Structure 1
């Protein structure tokens, strides 16, 4: 699906529910109206990054039409902790333009190995299941939003 059809498709936008991992189709014009999952009735947009596990990662990567922005991090990492509130704010501001996820590299070493994570924090932007951009190192909110801008349109 191309960028233009993702937002104008009569079939709507496909998202993966963060609570039950169901794939949900939402009309593009309803994205800003607080849509809920028809299966579990939780809101599809919570304004927070998803905690992604190995089990759920591929479903969110391949079944959602919105770009997926993933922060590979670890709890002991000072720069990761410094960037966390900025990533959270970006997720809140851009929640209907992209899905935001966090992968704890200590808890999910197979995902870190799969994507060749050599240092943290590392952000990867995915679109249509493919990596389109990567950034290593902590960023403040302004830098993060500038980096995200071309990937979430």
Structure 2
């Protein structure tokens, strides 16, 4: 039976390995694989096949609506009329909202696009007998494994 678990790079990983060795698991049956973390920056714009769930046009649409109503009202007194001024206000409001959202995403929330929370950095693979599986799993959970899975 194989048991897979993920850990952060901490002293608890070393404690888990030494505890497993004390429980009778041979060194040859314990395999640790370090993971490479993402080095490139996440993309800001979504494609047709991939989306991160954030939108850039939400503020732009709200400002386009507000600005078009205001400029259309003012447009009754201006020479081009309310329709043209409403369209000009909608375009201007949308561009302002889009620029605000781009500024927020690029400058303020730059860290949000990076992976957040606990990252798995090492995969630990343990080959053991089915009778040892519960004890091995308990040792892994006791040493703060991020995730554990068993494969027969």
Please confirm whether the aligned pair reaches a TM-score higher than 0.5, indicating the same fold: no
State the TM-score bracket (shorter-chain normalisation). Answer: under 0.3
Higher relative contact order (CA 8 A, sep 6+): 2
Rg larger in structure: 2
How does the TM-score come out when normalised to structure 1?
Answer: 0.23
Greater per-residue strand proportion:
1
How does the TM-score come out when normalised to structure 2?
Answer: 0.23
